[in-house]
Chains A and B, each alone.
Chain A
Amino acid sequence: MTALTGPTGTTHAGLLGLGVYRPRREVPNSEIVHLIDSSDEWIRTRSGITSRRFAEADETVVSMSVEASRQAIEQAGLTPGQIDCVLVATVSHLLQTPAAAAMIAEQLGATPAAAMDVSAACAGFCYGVAMASDMVRGGSARHVLVVGVEKLSDITDPTDRSTAFIFADGAGAVVVGPADQAGISPVVWGSDGARFDLIRQEAFWPPKVDPDPESVKGAHVLRMDGNPVFRWASFEMAKVAQQAIERAGITVDELDAFIPHQANMRITDAMARALKLPSHVVIARDIAEQGNTSAASIPLAMHRLIADGQVKPGDLALLIAFGAGLVYAAQVVRLP
């Protein structure tokens, strides 16, 4: 029998570089409260959010991704041509096909890198990091660019009291590549399709697919049942985070930072309590000024902790992300 050559990768993978893009326009609570009959105080106590950023017309899913990616590639000490695969986690690239990833690769000068979008909602960044790590270790790519990007303002109903004050825009990117020691622990991930409807779009995008386009007008925006999501995220996800710590072969005392998806400050606080995080573990709270940017929130939060000097390269951070599906993923990483 003729022998085939199988792929061979590296023993260890890690995060080599990080970059972000925060949209220019800052939107304080005072600017959005009139449409949802709310107040700055109500929003702050329910979510911890004081302001968020909304992208303007020229700040697109692709352009924000390219900016963040350039920084990540440069920090990794690479050139775009050395990227073998581009994974873009997003739910707000408003074309079913082609993928944003192909355009991002092209604009970066990373062609002919493999390119695809990952639809795992707010969990997308952690899904991407898990797959990138396996690609590097499995040998199908040496350097993978993982982007988390959202322009949720395009698919948020500004009059919806459950979501209008939460969702926001931004981008973050990391390069995953070979490392001397394990820089990304085994992922703990899964889904719970029984709760498919908790965070949802209520209709297909194009009117052609729906028999009655008028009946679904505006139904493509994101809707969320806040309380059940809060319960699931705060308590079920703490168990997943605990498993990720165990799979990483460390104890909670050995963590330096906790960087959960920035869904809601109250969820972060509840998870931190459930995990019994020691006081030396820095907790990411980027949501206060950035809102919930879905797939972009973890790299954005990671970047702020590093920029503020609260953590340093090499520190161990627990990541956990969860969202529409429902889907979730958690891993421990060594910060770039």
Chain B
Amino acid sequence: MATTEEIRASLADIVNEVAGIPADDVQLDKSFVDDLDVDSLSMVEVVVAAEEKFDVKIPDDEVKNLKTVGDAVAFIERQLS
């Protein structure tokens, strides 16, 4: 079972790859849109990459609730548990 920090670090790598944001900036309290400048289409790419990486399903309806990196990490943790 991956730890919160491991999930955050993997997600940070994905955000870096998709949107070019430095991975170190991708911290739990950061908003994807307001702090990291990840737009809605990049967010879709992040979600699809995260689904593959963690072998989870993140439905379209759920994506709009994932406002911060912490929201996304918590959602993935719940799916994995």
Chain A: residues with CB nearer than 8 A to chain B?
45-46, 226-228, 230-231, 234-235, 266, 270
Contact = CB atoms under 8 A, between A and B. Distances in A.
A231 B39 contact: no
Nearest to A266: B41
Contacts of B60: 227-228, 231
Binding site of A, secondary structure by majority: helix, strand, loop or mixed? helix
A46 B41 contact: yes
A42 to B, nearest CB: 9
Nearest to B44: A231
Interface of B: 39-41, 43-45, 47-48, 60, 63
Query: Which 7 pairs from chain A and chain B are nearest by CB?
Result: A231-B44, A228-B60, A266-B41, A230-B44, A235-B48, A230-B41, A227-B44
Nearest to B17: A273
A227 B60 CA distance: 8
B50 to A, nearest CB: 13
A162 B47 CA distance: 21
A234 B45 contact: yes
Contacts, number: 24
A227 B43 CA distance: 9
Contact of A270 (B45, B47, B63): B45
B40 A227 contact: yes
Contacts of B44: 227, 230-231, 234
A301 to B, nearest CB: 21
A226 B43 CA distance: 12
Contacts of A226: 40-41
B74 to A, nearest CB: 21
A228 B59 CA distance: 10
A234 B40 CA distance: 14
Contacts of A230: 41, 44
A234 B45 CA distance: 9
Nearest to A231: B44
B48 A231 contact: yes
Contacts of A231: 44, 47-48, 60
Nearest to B48: A235
A234 B60 CA distance: 14
A266 B48 CA distance: 15
Contacts of B41: 46, 226-227, 230, 266
A45 B45 contact: no
A228 B43 CA distance: 11
Contacts of B45: 234, 270
A45 B60 CA distance: 22
A234 to B, nearest CB: 7
A231 B48 CA distance: 8
Given A46-B41, A226-B41, A231-B44, 15 more contacts: A45-B39, A46-B39, A226-B40, A227-B40, A227-B43, A227-B44, A230-B41, A230-B44, A231-B47, A231-B48, A231-B60, A234-B44, A234-B45, A234-B48, A235-B48
A235 B63 CA distance: 16
A46 B60 CA distance: 19
A138 B61 CA distance: 46
24 contacts: A45-B39, A46-B39, A46-B41, A226-B40, A226-B41, A227-B40, A227-B41, A227-B43, A227-B44, A227-B60, A227-B63, A228-B60, A230-B41, A230-B44, A231-B44, A231-B47, A231-B48, A231-B60, A234-B44, A234-B45, A234-B48, A235-B48, A266-B41, A270-B45
Contacts of A227: 40-41, 43-44, 60, 63
User: Most chain-A Cβ atoms within 10 A of its Cβ — which of B40, B43, B45?
Assistant: B45
A250 B39 CA distance: 36
A22 B71 CA distance: 47
